[in-house]
Amino acid sequence: MPLQNKENNSQNHFEFCTQLGMTLLELMVVVIIIGVLATLIFPSFEQQILAARRGDGITQLLRLKIQQEAFRIENSSYAETAQLGLPVSEYYAFIVTNVSATTYTITAKAKGSQLDDVKCLTMQINQSLNKTPAHCFL
């Protein structure tokens, strides 16, 4: 009797061991599924990063507009580029053009990795709060 018990125990142990874990094929299927999901999600994530940086650029444009208006209150015209103290940004270069006593245009040009944001490479705002291109400011 003890011999039969030992054989049954070893068979049960063998069956138990074969049911644990995953096969290599199952593991490969999981890796492929994760890879496909990652390729679908990454472009969307990248677009969100570009949109967030664009938002930072727009914020800087609006801050510069406020600085221009404050400068004009104290002076008889708007500030030139050198007088305004433009911010340094990793993703946008800022410049003030068309400066006179009544007008100005502030431009933000994309640079670095923000050049991937092809729809909004250049954004502008003027003294009348006209924003171009309009779709970038939505």
Q: Would you give the DSSP letter of residue 75?
A: S
Arch. (CATH architecture) of 24-137: 2-Layer Sandwich (3.30)
Predicted TM-score of the model (pTM):
0.70
**Do residues 114 and 50 lie in contact, with contact meaning Cβ atoms separated by under 8 Å?**
yes
Q: What is the pLDDT along the chain (138 residues), one digit of tens a residue?
A: 555 555 555 555 555 555 567 788 888 888 989 888 888 777 778 889 999 999 999 999 999 999 999 999 999 899 998 888 888 899 999 999 999 999 999 999 999 999 999 999 999 999 999 999 999 998
| Cα–Cα dist 84/38, whole Å | 44
For position 5, what pLDDT does the model report?
56
Stretch (H or E) spanning 47: helix 24-74
**Do residues 54 and 112 lie in contact, with contact meaning Cβ atoms separated by under 8 Å?**
no
For position 113, what pLDDT does the model report?
93
